[in-house]
Structure 1
Amino acid sequence: MRTKGLAWSRLPLLIMSAISLPLIAGSTGLVCYTAVESLDLSCLLRWDCPHASPNITYTVQTKTQGDPWQDVPWCVWISSRSCDVSHVFSNFELYNMIRLGVHLTPSSTVWIKPHKFDYSDFTFSPPSISVSLKNDSMSVEVQFPCAANRRCAHDVCCPISKLIDPWTTVTVYNELNRSENQSRTVWTQEVVSTLEFSGLSPGQSYCAVANFSFPIYSIAASPKSAPGCVATRSSSGMLLMYCAGIGLSFLVLLLFLAVFLQKPRRDRPTPDNPPKALTAAQDLDSLAPPVFVPVDPCDINLELLDDHSSNMGLTSSSKSKTLSPHMHFDASGGVVYCYSEVLKQKR
């Protein structure tokens, strides 16, 4: 038991020795600890040389498979303890190397053992998703985090899907019954990845989560996104909407027929019928009441013919005869007298 406890107590020392030994620079005894931090395809080299002079300076170089070592222009003879080389690397499927140079004197530089930069160093931010419901299918759109790289230096946001073709995995599950789920993994070759899921039960709430990884290497995978949820329509609600649509269509048809049937039809004029304007005038004349104009009897002129044969047959008593209350005939003189009310009053 004592031996085992002693071994466990020495384990941190063994680990530190394993890390420090490769970083000892030749016979100078200079020890530097280097580490690479990578988030969303960025690359930041950090180092610590605890026994180095405070005034010492450093230079960082990079190397891509098949190319020579090259200085990072903004990390030459610097006194800081870090260097961002994110804009240097553009092909992540080749071998990329980084090394730190320590300037002991203006003419003496010690190069620390190179550090590789590959998928084992990658870490990613979770993607963001948006979900929508189309009929009975759920559409999930996956948007990738922004990356810092020289190929996208002029863009406000350069999604990492412009630099690599990630494997994207989307899982859709029933919010109340997690056993009802379906998952799909696709090789994304577009800036935005969109996946469709069908076979969802009506009246249920479904959620989706997504993550992605570096092509082929699942070890470099992002955390899962925040869930995006949507509720499917219930069967009763769909039936009600269907019936409402049919009823509305039927109502519109009835209104159209009612308006069409109430529209008056114009009769064509026949040759036997008089023109409408003339007929209307005649109808008005026939309906107008007769107008009676008062006539003074004295305004009537009577002309009597001197017929001797008729006079011969008249007796003396019949020579004078009253024709009306206002007219009197004198046979002897052949004169007709007209009496008005005025004359009668004077007499």
Structure 2
Amino acid sequence: MRTPGLAGLTVLLRLCVIVVVLLTSGSIGLVCYTAVESLDLSCLLRWDCPYASPNSTYTVQTKTQGDPWQDVPWCVWISSHSCDVSQIFSNFELYNMIRLGVHLTPTSTVWMEPRKFDYSDFTFSPPSVSVSLKEEQLLVKVQFPCTPNRRCSRERCCPISRLIDPWTTVTVYSELSPSEYQSRTVWTQEVMSHVEFSGLSLGHNYCVVANFSFPTFSMAASPKSAPQCVEVVSQSGETELMPVLCLGIALTLLLIFPLLTVFLRKPQPAATTPENQSKTPVHDLVSLVPLSLVPADPCDVHLELADDQMSIVSSSNLPSAEDLTSALGNAVSRVPLSHDPSSLAAYWDSGGIELELGLDSGISIPRLSH
């Protein structure tokens, strides 16, 4: 026969077992699948909870080695199924952890198993390369992709080389025979990586590709960049072309110079106007007549007047008489004469010298003293 106290204890034990079973079944049924996506050191957490209520809310927490768990400010009590925590992590050499919490009630939260965020999650974009030639050496410059990390949030592009020191591998190969190649791996501690190659064959086209990896973990490597090709040409070959170029320029100038000379020397018609054609005064004509330097005797010069016309008769011993007569006649014809028919005498304003008509119907000029 059971006592009342023992019966009550048995019922209480049965209720506790039922509660434990219910709680255990509920926690087992709440399963979430998480995944981390990382491109160029970004970090995006995604999850899927197939048995959770459609109205469930979530919170994401992060932890860095040596620090406690902290809420991600923009991922607290959210209903979405993803959270970008790229701005949280800054040191990738330490352990970084992420965990997801599911809110069953305002006071009850179930935390999923945390997961690490490390190099095994890293994926990278391929770098870009540029090539140039300098004194028969091939210079390669490697530019790394940008990252959305918080260290460089104020810059338009923050290369991953600001956050890590990647291993950069550059390969140069001949386009005609890809089996001939050179490869170098350098530890990049600058924003860009610079690599030089020499000993290349002249006249060949060479292509360059590059990739990089997380330091000390080559498994987290980027794809190779797009190839950049360049032709290796000797500087001396370019120098040999200079005389040919100069000769061509000189021949061109020799052909153009005569044409320019003919064009510049082409006579231009002088514009003549009636105003420029002025008559020469009489006194200028007289002054232009070449007079003989031999002194002439005034007695040898005779002026004849007939019907208001005057002529000059000169002795044969005067040179250039014809020219002198022509010039003097034109001048005298314009000098005013005083002719008195009654006295048969003609007066010529000759500076006070009087001309008288002689018996031979001529005009005689008195002898003048020198």
Q: Same fold (TM over 0.5)?
A: yes
Return 197-206 or 222-231, whichever deviates more: 197-206
Unpaired stretches in structure 1, ≥5 consecutive residues: 1-24, 249-289, 301-323, 327-339
Other-structure match for 1:163? 163
Identical aligned residues as a percent: 71
Task: Tell me how far apart the structure 1 counterparts of residues 38 and 25 of structure 2 sit (CA, whole Å).
Answer: 29
Contact 1:166/1:214, CA 8 A, preserved across alignment = yes
Amino acid of the residue matched to residue 146 of structure 1? C
Deviation at 1:221, TM superposition (A): 0.1
Q: How does 1:245-284 map to 2 (within 5 A)?
A: none
Which residue in 2 is equivalent to 1:298?
Answer: 299
Matched, 1:28 2:43: no
What is the Cα deviation at residue 174 of structure 1? 0.3
Counterpart residue identity of residue 298, structure 1: C
Q: Say which SS state the counterpart of residue 102 (structure 1) adopts.
A: strand
Displacement of 1:65:
0.5
Tell me the distance in 2 between the aligned counterparts of 1:131 and 1:182. 15
Q: Distance in 1 between matches of 2:360 and 2:65?
A: 152
Identify if the C-alpha distance between structure 1 residues 298 and 243 changes in structure 2 by more than 3 Å, giving closer, same or farther: closer
Q: Which amino acid aligns with 1:96?
A: N
Structure 1 distance, partners of 2:180, 2:25, is 61
Closer, same or farther: CA 180–238 of 1 in aligned 2, 3 Å: farther
Q: Is the 8 A contact 2:207 2:229 kept in 1?
A: yes
Give 3-state SS (helix, strand or coil) of 2:220's partner.
coil
AA aligned opposite 1:70: Q
Deviation at 1:296, TM superposition (A): 3.9
Aligned to 2:40: 40
Letter in 2 for 1:110: V
Q: Shift of residue 198 of structure 1? A: 1.0
In the other structure, the counterpart of 1:100 is 100
Which amino acid in structure 2 is aligned with residue 82 of structure 1?
S
- The one-letter code sitting in structure 2 at the alignment partner of 1:134 is K
Match in the other structure for 1:267:
none
Aligned to 1:153: 153
Q: Deviations over 1:255-299 (max 9, x none)?
A: xxxxxxxxxxxxxxxxxxxxxxxxxxxxxxxxxxx8526734339
Structure 1 residues 210 and 28, CA gap change in structure 2 (3 angstroms): same
Q: Is the CA contact (8 Å cut-off) linking 2:136 and 2:234 kept in structure 1?
A: no
SS at match of 1:37: strand
1:179-235 Cα shifts (integer Å, max 9, x gaps): 221011111111111111111111110000000000110010000000000011268
* Native 8 Å contact 1:204 1:234 kept in 2: no
**Preserved CA contact (<8 Å) 1:202 1:235:** no
Structure 2 residue aligned with 1:112: 112
Deviations 1:67-114 (A, max 9, x none): 000000000000110000000000000000000011111100011111
Matched-pair contact (CA < 8 Å) for 1:42–1:148: yes
Residue 178 of structure 1 pairs with residue 193 of structure 2: no
Counterparts of 1:146 and 1:246, CA distance in 2: 48
Secondary structure of 1:28's counterpart equals: helix
Q: Is the 8 A contact 2:60 2:99 kept in 1?
A: yes
Amino acid at match of 1:28: S
SS at match of 2:217: coil
Instruction: Tell me, in whole angstroms, the C-alpha distance in 1 between the residues paired with 2:169 and 2:316.
Output: 129
Give the deviation of 1:345 after TM superposition: 3.1
Separation in structure 1 between the aligned mates of residue 361 and residue 300 of structure 2, nearest angstrom: 20
Matches of 2:237 and 2:247, distance apart in 1: 15
Q: Distance in 2 between matches of 1:104 and 1:325?
A: 156
Task: Give 1:14's aligned residue.
Answer: none
Q: What is the TM-score of this pair, normalised by structure 1?
A: 0.65
Is the contact made by 1:100 and 1:112 (CA closer than 8 Å) also made in structure 2? yes
**What's 1:281 paired with?**
none
The equivalences for 1:1-347 within 5 A come to 28-29=27-28, 30-233=30-233, 237-238=237-238, 240-241=240-241, 244=244, 291-292=291-292, 295-298=296-299, 343=358, 345-346=360-361
Q: Distance in 2 between matches of 1:204 and 1:92?
A: 43
Q: Helix, strand or coil: the match of 1:177?
A: coil
Query: What displacement does 1:344 show?
Result: 7.2
1:119-152 Cα offsets, whole Å, 9 max, x none, are 1110000001111122211111111111011111
**Mind listing any 5+ residue stretches in structure 2 that lack a counterpart?**
1-23, 249-289, 302-314, 318-354, 363-370
Asked whether the equivalents of residues 136 and 235 of structure 2 are also in contact (C-alpha less than 8 Å), the reply is no
Deviation (angstroms), 1:236? 8.5
Aligned partners of 2:202 and 2:238: how far apart in 1? 9
Report the CA distance shift for 1:217/1:206 in structure 2 as closer, same or farther (over 3 A).
Answer: same
SS in 1 for 2:147: coil
**What TM-score comes out, normalization by structure 2 length?**
0.61
User: What SS does structure 1 have at the residue aligned with 2:219?
Assistant: coil
* Matched position secondary structure for 1:67: coil
